[in-house]
Structure 1
Amino acid sequence: MRLAVYGGASFMLALGVVLSALHQNSNFYAACVYLSKSSSCVMVLLNLGLLFSIIMGKTLQSIFFGQLRAIEVEHLYERSWYAVTETCLAMTIFREEFDLQFVLVFATLLFLKIFHWLCQDRVEFMEQSPSHRMTFHVRMVNLMALLLLIDILLACHAINVTITKGPNMMIMFGFEYTILICIMTSIIGKYILNVVDMRSQEPWEGKSMYVFYLDLVTDFFKLITYIVFFIFLCFFYQLPLHIVRDVYVTFRSFIQKCRDLYRYRRATRNMNELYPDASAEDLLRTSDSTCIICREEMHAIVVDNNGHADAPGDIDQNLDQPKKLPCGHIFHFYCLRSWLERQQSCPTWLVTSITLTLIRNQY
């Protein structure tokens, strides 16, 4: 209802401005010149363009996404305000080139960013709700292919303009579209991993590591792009304060992932030798022989003198083998390895610390 009222008022106002310009000028060309020279007329026409953009966005949303979830709308508002604020800071660098073309190019970039954010949230939602209709996959594949193609074309256009005309405002938009290419490539990779996981009969054990490596590579290319853009702006313009935070956050995320990878490799290297098998006596000493990760009962697997276990499969491949950490806590071999992919600390100590923190906050 509000959109209809806003649309009707915008259309009537734009129509009145156009008719007034045609009435005051003798021909169509003179009317167009008058409209382009008047700041108030330009604002009215830009408002009408904003209305058409909203209508087109709503139409594309209904085609590719349908009804948005509440969390998607919330993320959309948060990211949009941040993107607008960041661009306002960038305008201080390109203030001499700020014109109607800048506004149109920025509106196009924000329009595409919105669909990238929605696409990212919808792919992440696949992990929470693995059962989707075929129409969902058709929509997502077409949307991701379309967005990636548009990103590549606009990035190439911005780079070509920069090379042809020299440093100008298109540097920023070429950089933004390069970042969007990295993000869309990551989204496509995660979508493929989710589809493969949905197709498999059993849970895919190595999926989390593939997602981790994908995020690591994405952060690396984003960091390289940020650094190149930062140096370029410092050399031709001035210190780009609007991307200092993005450079820092991306650099910190990349370093943290490298540390997590190193710790995971160190923690999972020779796990059979690093973490001894838990015996039946060890399980009896514990107050609860349930693995807190999978919430299933643990049973000691005895190996005879010939190296054969009392359970099917080789002991090195037996994922149900209880393993004992240096702190004394016991978990399944597979559960421990899966946990170490995400955290490099004892899950019992982590759960205990979180519980104590929640109790402390309540009182």
Structure 2
Amino acid sequence: MRLAIYGAVSTTLACWVVFSAFTQRVNYYAACVHLAKSNVCMMILLNMGLYIAIIIGKAMQAIFFGPLRAIEVEHLYERSWYAISETCLAMTIFRDEFNLHFVVLFTTLLFLKIFHWLCQDRVEFMEQAPAHRLTFHLRMLHLMSVLFIVDYYLASTGILSIWEHGPSMMIMFGFEYTIMFLTLLSIIGKYILNVIDWQSEEPWEGKSMYVFYIDLVVDFLKLVTYVTFFVIICIYYQLPLHIVRDVYVTFRSFIQKCRDLYRYRRATRNMDQLYPNATVEDLSGTNDSTCIICREDMHANPPDITSSPPQQPPQQDGPHHNYDQPKKLPCGHIFHFHCLRSWLERQQTCPTW
């Protein structure tokens, strides 16, 4: 209802200023000059353009997403306010170049960011509800294809403009479109992994590590992009305060992922030798023989089997490895081998801590 009222008022005002300009001026050229020179007329026409953009966005939402979930709407409001405030800070750097072209580029940027956020939320939703209809995948494939082409074109156009004409406001937009392109590559990679996991008959144990590597590589590329943009702006303009937080957050995220990768490799190296198999006595001595990660019962091999040394060291990822074998940590807690390994991909501490 509010959108309908806003649209009716915007359309009425736009029609009124255009009708007045053409009735009070002798020809078409004079009417266009009057509309372009009048600040009031330009504000009304820009507001009408914003309403048209909202209508187009609503139509594209219905085509590619359908009804939005409550969490997606909440994320849109939170991210939109942050993106607008961040761009307003960036405008202080390029205030001498603020014009109609800047407004159109900013509106296009925010428009595309919204669809990237929704696409990211939908791919994350696939992990919670992996069974989706064919229409869902057709929508996602078409949306990601369109965003890929648009992001690549706008990012390359912005970078080419800077290369040919020197530093300008296109630095900010070329940088933003490059960040969105890298984000889209991460979304596409995670979508492919979700589809592979959905089609596999058994749970894909190594999926989380592939997701981790995708995030690690994308964080590195984003960090390089942020630092490059930061240096260029500092050289040709002034300190870009609006991206200091993004540079810090991306750098901290990348360093944390590198630390997690090192700890995971150290924790999962020779897991058979590092963590002994739990015996029947170990499980019977505990209050609960249920693995708290997967919530399934654990069953150990008989003592005469577990106590005898194997002829050859078992391979961690060998085809005959018993992934349901309970493993005992130094702290005394017991978990399934595959559950412990999947947990160590996310955290390098005991799950009970």
TM-score normalised by the shorter chain: which range applies? over 0.9
Q: Report the 3-state secondary structure (helix = DSSP H, G, I; strand = E; otherwise coil) of the residue aligned with 1:67.
A: coil
Q: Flag the 1:275–1:305 CA change in 2: closer, same or farther, 3 A.
A: closer
Q: Report the 3-state secondary structure (helix = DSSP H, G, I; strand = E; otherwise coil) of the residue aligned with 1:323.
A: strand
Q: Distance between the aligned counterparts of 1:122 and 1:215, measured in 2?
A: 17
Q: Distance between the aligned counterparts of 2:196 and 2:87, measured in 1?
A: 38
Q: Say if 2:317 is the partner of 1:319.
A: no
The aligned residue for residue 95 of structure 1 is: 95
Q: Offset of 1:161 from its aligned partner? A: 1.5
- With CA pairs under 8 Å and 6+ residues apart, which has the higher RCO, 1 or 2? 2
The aligned residue for residue 331 of structure 1 is: 335
Q: How many residues align?
A: 346
Q: Percent identity?
A: 69
Q: Say if 2:343 is the partner of 1:342.
A: no
Q: Flag the 1:45–1:225 CA change in 2: closer, same or farther, 3 A.
A: same
Q: Flag the 1:315–1:18 CA change in 2: closer, same or farther, 3 A.
A: closer
Q: Distance between the aligned counterparts of 1:261 and 1:192, measured in 2?
A: 22
Q: Deviations over 1:145-194 (max 9, x none)?
A: 10010011011111122122211000000000000110000000000000
TM-score (ref. length: structure 1): 0.93
Maintained 8 Å contact 2:279/2:306:
no
Q: Distance between the aligned counterparts of 1:241 and 1:307, measured in 2?
A: 61
Q: Deviations over 1:207-252 (max 9, x none)?
A: 0000000000110000000000000000111000000000000001
Q: Distance between the aligned counterparts of 2:198 and 2:191, measured in 1?
A: 10
Maintained 8 Å contact 1:13/1:44:
yes
Q: Can you give the 5+ residue segments of structure 2 that lack an aligned partner in the other structure? A: none
Maintained 8 Å contact 2:326/2:337:
yes
Maintained 8 Å contact 1:272/1:316:
no
Equivalent residue runs for 1:211-226 within 5 Å: 211-226=211-226
Q: Can you give the 5+ residue segments of structure 1 that lack an aligned partner in the other structure? A: 350-363
The aligned residue for residue 307 of structure 1 is: 310
Q: Report the 3-state secondary structure (helix = DSSP H, G, I; strand = E; otherwise coil) of the residue aligned with 1:347.
A: coil
Q: Distance between the aligned counterparts of 1:331 and 1:67, measured in 2?
A: 41
**Which aligned segments of 4 or more residues in structure 1 are displaced greater than 6 angstroms?**
313-316
Maintained 8 Å contact 2:280/2:299:
yes
TM-score (ref. length: structure 2): 0.95
Q: Report the 3-state secondary structure (helix = DSSP H, G, I; strand = E; otherwise coil) of the residue aligned with 1:82.
A: helix
Q: Report the 3-state secondary structure (helix = DSSP H, G, I; strand = E; otherwise coil) of the residue aligned with 1:287.
A: coil
Maintained 8 Å contact 1:263/1:344:
yes
Q: Deviations over 1:252-295 (max 9, x none)?
A: 11111111111100000001111111122222221112111111
Maintained 8 Å contact 1:280/1:299:
yes
Equivalent residue runs for 1:120-159 within 5 Å: 120-159=120-159
The aligned residue for residue 16 of structure 1 is: 16
Q: Distance between the aligned counterparts of 1:315 and 1:104, measured in 2?
A: 57
The aligned residue for residue 272 of structure 1 is: 272
Maintained 8 Å contact 2:291/2:334:
yes
Maintained 8 Å contact 2:275/2:330:
yes
Counterpart amino acid of 2:164? T
Maintained 8 Å contact 1:183/1:218:
yes
Maintained 8 Å contact 2:277/2:328:
yes
Q: Offset of 1:305 from its aligned partner? A: 4.5
Q: Flag the 1:199–1:297 CA change in 2: closer, same or farther, 3 A.
A: same
Q: Distance between the aligned counterparts of 1:174 and 1:86, measured in 2?
A: 16
Q: Flag the 1:210–1:315 CA change in 2: closer, same or farther, 3 A.
A: closer
Q: Report the 3-state secondary structure (helix = DSSP H, G, I; strand = E; otherwise coil) of the residue aligned with 1:184.
A: helix
Q: Offset of 1:24 from its aligned partner? A: 2.0
